[in-house]
A and B are shown apart, each in its own frame.
Chain A
Amino acid sequence: MTEVLARLDGITRHFGHVKALDSANLEIHSGEIHGILGENGAGKTTLLSILGGIIHPDVGFLEVGGSRVRLQSARAAWKMGIGLVHQHFTLVPGLSVLENLALGRRHTGHRWTLHLKEIRKEASQLGKLTGLTVPFEASIEELGVGDRQRIEILKALLRNPQLLVLDEPTAALAPAEIDQLFRLLRTLAEEGRAVVLVAHKLDEILSIADRVTVLRQGRTVMTAVRADVDTAILTDAMVGSSSSEGEAPITPARNALPALGQSSDGLAQNRESGNRSVARLKGIDVYSPQGGLALQDVGLEVMSGEVIGVAGVEGNGQRELALVLSGRQQVASGKLEIPEHVGFIPQDRNREGLAADFDLTENVALALHRDPQFRSGPLLRWKLIGLHAAEIRSRFKVKSSGVRALARELSGGNQQRLVVGRELSRLPELLIAENPTRGLDFTATAFVRGELKKLAHDTAAGVVLISTDLDEILEVADRVFVILRGKLTPVPSTHDSREAIGAMMLGSRLEVH
């Protein structure tokens, strides 16, 4: 029979003035896979961090194995058999994979020495058992996100946790890798362990979870057995029924996309109608920082009015392609024609999209401070930039206390809305979006995807969507390419099935007749 492995009861936690959790509850049974759903800012990550001992609740308590515990640190959580795999990777770049696996592990008996050999033996045994194979000697920088994810999970499993907590483990993985991960989680559950899983994609949760808990605005609004729920029920629970909530869910952007004082129609007309080339790459080679070619003989022509999707498993040259297309990287050889201004939604919004200590206005200024419209002589026209920021904030529904709020006070989803809004509001001729919906809830995701499509179709811009999420590519893109080991291959429209592209992403040869 199922027994309660861990229980969170009446957890409330504030961050400054923001109530991240409001008497939330969660009960985890051994042997189950427990999915947690919620919008951005619903408190999922906070709840997991409390389970992992990283954050302490203001109010409420945690029970593990029937007795109340106070987890003072991540270490304490590990000792209780709770293993947390973070949403953001916690691997140390300068160290090898093996050294990373050894981090924080101290064998009894020899306190002062590191026994890499033992850890290696243990890890490779566990790797064989679970299918998590990782290159032990490689250094972390050389590895893609998929590998890093596997290392994180292996690192957690090495400590033999009874409860494995995963915060969005699928975000960076290819479909086949997700299947593999899910099979592994199922095996773990069958061994009697419990798995807690956060994922943004409803269908992923539905395909693996035994039970589901939904958080909304810091409260637990539902816990149910998988068989009793479906997409509609869960969606309702997550966003709240639209009539009763003060905050209406954001409809995927019917508010069209005219820039300041310009209607999109007018702009579309200004731009020549019909398909014209907005960017052209020919024979582009780019070296990676480690030596080697990150991009190899890449050719691509982006036409106005289309969304090009570039699918691929993380670490196959997407980064370099995005930087080249947006004019932010030198190429070793090849011909590159891109417009003067290229909109760019970088993958890592915390580090590259925004300056955390800048307010909304300043962050908006980051992208447009060279625009003559916003300058007079050596001065920046801050009033105008402020107005622009306010417009972005309201049109793209960036939840914040105002345009003077700091970027780091925003939730992840709202940070992304800010970045997307900033880039789209300038009506770029060419927009490069690198995993623009990673970590976003589905209203925000739908919003961003809708905006990308609208930018291409309504304003005749060229959009390049580089994504590891195949569903996203299939939903948004007009033409699909696959990037694998630095080579860009078009997917014939006769073969753009999910399976065919998935196979190409992993390097299986596609038969073209």
Chain B
Amino acid sequence: MRRFSQLAVAVLALLATGIIAAGSLWLGGYDPLVAGAAMFQGSFGSGTAILSVTMVRAVPLIVTGLAVALAFRAGVWNIGAEGQLYAGAIAAAWVGLSWGSAPGWFLTPAALVAALLAGAAWAAIPAFMKVRLGIGEVIPTILMNFVGIYLAAFVVHGPLQENRGVFPQTDPISDAARLSVLVEGTRLHAGFLIALLVGVILWAGLRWTHFGFQARSVGASPDAARVSGMIESKRVLLVVFLSSGAIAGLAGGIEITGVTFALYEGLSPGWGYTAIAVALLAGLHPGWVVFTGLLFGGLEAGAGAMQREAGVPAAWVSAVEALVILFVLAGDQIRRRFGA
């Protein structure tokens, strides 16, 4: 019943968003039907659209969405997935560039592990501030996003800039470092499987393991967890925080090794922020994050098509994504207020 009501909140939030989105298009002088059709065509309208665009776009959203969902479940308000993603991307690009002669079976995992570690390291600073100094994590994680974004910008203008020195980007990483393509003739890469794997691990971990239960307890009721006397809340918070950062970092590593093969300024269009919508719409449930990640991947995939076909600015999609967050939060409150 509670699962059902959470699902109902998600569906109603999407419905409400759809209505407002359509209304805003209509007010803006666009034809909502034409725009909607273009969006659907561009996201789920063909095999190519699904495999090469939607699913590829969904990968970083799913992975950062999982990072956020994990943190939020334990009551860690990690708003820093964006910065952690950049840290992971920098690390992966660096490994892919500097160890270019290493064999693929080593280099790809090495790049991804580097991304994991870098993401965790990026989260370690606000995590330390929270656990040891008692400073709330929201502001530090947000600020670390800017540091991460500009660190990436610095790196591609300086130490890791391409040899030609023209564009603010790195040279392409060696072929050996790249994730393999899953379906021949499409852009769908093995990163999608990694995303699913992380989802399954988190789902099972939160549900079945002792540590997962401790994490959920700390999130559900810090006082009850403390008084139950058996949960080392600080250790749990620290592990969750670092894991969340690591997963967000992994998203950056996957993007480098699976899609762009190079680091450049503005690599992420704000995946780390959209991840919050992805996680909340999924009710912070790792299994559902896969679906909401695909949905948002579709939205972003369709945004391009919509801009081409119906002339709707792609930025409009960002507004729509934000609306989803608002409606989910409002819906959740209403659900709590009125029981069920």
Chain A residues with CB under 8 Å of chain B are: 15-18, 326-328, 342, 344, 346, 348, 351-358, 362, 365-367, 369-370, 375, 378-380, 382, 406, 409
User: CA–CA, A146 to B338, complex, Å?
Assistant: 33
* Residues of B199-224 whose CB lies within 8 A of A: 208-211, 213-214, 216-217, 220-221, 223-224
Instruction: With both chains docked as a complex, state the minimum distance between the C-beta of A389 and any C-beta of chain B, in angstroms.
Output: 14
Given contacts A366-B217, A370-B230, contact A378 B210 (CB under 8 A): yes
Which bucket holds chain B's interface residue count? 20 to 34
Is B340's CB within 8 Å of the partner chain A? Answer: yes
Residues of B within 8 A of A15 (CB): 339
Residues of A within 8 A of B214 (CB): 369
Residues of B within 8 A of A366 (CB): 217, 224-225, 228, 230
* Residues of B150-209 whose CB lies within 8 A of A: 208-209
Report B57-77 CB contacts with A as 1/0, cut-off 8 Å.
000000000000000000000
When the two chains form their complex, are residues B229 and A344 in contact, meaning their CB atoms are under 8 A apart? yes
Cβ 8 A contact of A382, one of B208, B217, B226: B208
* Given A328-B227, A409-B339; 20 other pairs, CB 8 A cutoff: A328-B226, A344-B229, A352-B223, A352-B224, A352-B226, A354-B221, A355-B217, A355-B220, A355-B221, A355-B224, A358-B217, A358-B221, A365-B213, A366-B225, A369-B213, A370-B210, A375-B210, A378-B211, A382-B208, A406-B2
When the two chains form their complex, are residues B213 and A380 in contact, meaning their CB atoms are under 8 A apart? yes
User: CA–CA, A379 to B211, complex, Å?
Assistant: 8
Instruction: With both chains docked as a complex, state the minimum distance between the C-beta of B2 and any C-beta of chain A, in angstroms.
Output: 7
When the two chains form their complex, are residues B224 and A354 in contact, meaning their CB atoms are under 8 A apart? yes
When the two chains form their complex, are residues B210 and A352 in contact, meaning their CB atoms are under 8 A apart? no
User: CA–CA, A254 to B47, complex, Å?
Assistant: 68
Residues of B within 8 A of A380 (CB): 208-210, 213
* Residues of B317-340 whose CB lies within 8 A of A: 338-340
Residues of A within 8 A of B208 (CB): 379-380, 382
User: CA–CA, A365 to B211, complex, Å?
Assistant: 12
User: CA–CA, A380 to B216, complex, Å?
Assistant: 13
Cβ 8 A contact of B340, one of A16, A367, A369, A379: A16
User: CA–CA, A342 to B230, complex, Å?
Assistant: 11
Residues of A within 8 A of B225 (CB): 355, 366
Chain B residues with CB under 8 Å of chain A are: 2, 208-211, 213-214, 216-217, 220-221, 223-230, 338-340
When the two chains form their complex, are residues B229 and A327 in contact, meaning their CB atoms are under 8 A apart? yes
Instruction: With both chains docked as a complex, state the minimum distance between the C-beta of A385 and any C-beta of chain B, in angstroms.
Output: 10
A-B contacts, 16 listed (Cβ < 8 Å): A17-B340, A327-B229, A344-B229, A348-B223, A352-B223, A352-B226, A355-B221, A356-B221, A362-B217, A362-B220, A366-B224, A366-B228, A369-B210, A369-B214, A370-B210, A406-B2
When the two chains form their complex, are residues B210 and A379 in contact, meaning their CB atoms are under 8 A apart? yes
Cβ 8 A contact of A362, one of B210, B211, B213, B226: B213
Interface-centre pick from A327, A357, A366 (highest chain B CB count, 10 A)? A366
The 3 closest A-B pairs by CB, nearest first: A16-B339, A355-B221, A355-B220
Instruction: With both chains docked as a complex, state the minimum distance between the C-beta of A13 and any C-beta of chain B, in angstroms.
Output: 12
Instruction: With both chains docked as a complex, state the minimum distance between the C-beta of B151 and any C-beta of chain A, in angstroms.
Output: 36
When the two chains form their complex, are residues A352 and B227 in contact, meaning their CB atoms are under 8 A apart? yes
Interface-centre pick from B217, B221, B339 (highest chain A CB count, 10 A)? B221
When the two chains form their complex, are residues B209 and A326 in contact, meaning their CB atoms are under 8 A apart? no
User: CA–CA, A175 to B26, complex, Å?
Assistant: 70
Instruction: With both chains docked as a complex, state the minimum distance between the C-beta of B206 and any C-beta of chain A, in angstroms.
Output: 11
Given contacts A328-B229, A352-B227, A369-B230, contact A16 B338 (CB under 8 A): yes
User: CA–CA, A357 to B223, complex, Å?
Assistant: 13
Q: Which residue of B lies closest to A366 (CB)?
A: B228
User: CA–CA, A16 to B217, complex, Å?
Assistant: 25
Instruction: With both chains docked as a complex, state the minimum distance between the C-beta of B208 and any C-beta of chain A, in angstroms.
Output: 5
User: CA–CA, A375 to B210, complex, Å?
Assistant: 8
User: CA–CA, A326 to B228, complex, Å?
Assistant: 10
Instruction: With both chains docked as a complex, state the minimum distance between the C-beta of A499 and any C-beta of chain B, in angstroms.
Output: 35
User: CA–CA, A366 to B211, complex, Å?
Assistant: 12
Q: Which residue of A lies closest to B218 (CB)?
A: A355
User: CA–CA, A409 to B2, complex, Å?
Assistant: 11
User: CA–CA, A368 to B227, complex, Å?
Assistant: 13
User: CA–CA, A9 to B294, complex, Å?
Assistant: 54
Residues of B within 8 A of A342 (CB): 229
When the two chains form their complex, are residues B220 and A358 in contact, meaning their CB atoms are under 8 A apart? yes
When the two chains form their complex, are residues A379 and B209 in contact, meaning their CB atoms are under 8 A apart? yes
Instruction: With both chains docked as a complex, state the minimum distance between the C-beta of B130 and any C-beta of chain A, in angstroms.
Output: 20
Residues of A within 8 A of B228 (CB): 366-367
Residues of B within 8 A of A326 (CB): 229
Residues of A within 8 A of B338 (CB): 16
User: CA–CA, A151 to B221, complex, Å?
Assistant: 29
Residues of A within 8 A of B216 (CB): 358, 362
Cβ 8 A contact of B224, one of A351, A375, A379, A406: A351
